[in-house]
Each structure stands twice: as structure tokens, then as C-alpha cells.
Amino acid sequence: MAESSAWIVFISAIFATYIWRFAGVMISHRIEANHPAFEWFTCLAYGIYMFGRRLLVGIVFGETAFIFLLLVGGFNL
């Protein structure tokens, strides 16, 4: 019984992962490469990598950097 439930959890995890990957592929074809959404993800990623385990500080830093780039770069949302 325990072995079959482990397989169910394993297959469910694979299914959940591939659903999000498929959604990402479908969405990425509709977004331009210079879209501000990509800049937002980049700023968040750098903020989180720079501040390690302090997730909130990293997110705030990434958001602040993104807003600064919007103001300086002249992006319109």
C-alpha cells in the first residue's frame, strides 16, 4: 500500500511540473523578448540570489530595481 501511494505522489508531482512547463511555453510565445515582464523576473531573480535566505529583502530589492528601471528606461506598462 505504501509503495503504491508513493508512486501516486511521484506521478502527481511529475504531472504538476509539466503542466506549469507547458503553460510557460504557451505563454512565452505570446510575450515579446523585451517585455517588462521579463525584466521583472530578472530583477526578482537577482534580488533573491544576492540576498540568499532573506527572501523578503531580496523581493523588495528586486521590485525596487524593477521600478527604477521602469522610470529610467521609460517603459510603459
Task: State pLDDT tens for residues 17-56.
Answer: 899 889 888 887 777 777 777 788 888 888 877 777 788 8
**What residue segments make up the domains of the chain, in order of their start?**
1-30, 33-77
How many Å apart are CA 38 and CA 58, to the nearest integer? 17
pLDDT > 80? residue 16: yes
How many Å apart are CA 33 and CA 55, to the nearest integer? 27
pLDDT > 60? residue 77: no
How many Å apart are CA 73 and CA 20, to the nearest integer? 31
How many Å apart are CA 38 and CA 29, to the nearest integer? 13
pLDDT band at residue 76 under the 50/70/90 scheme: low
Across the range 58-76, mean pLDDT stands at 80
pTM, to two decimals: 0.45
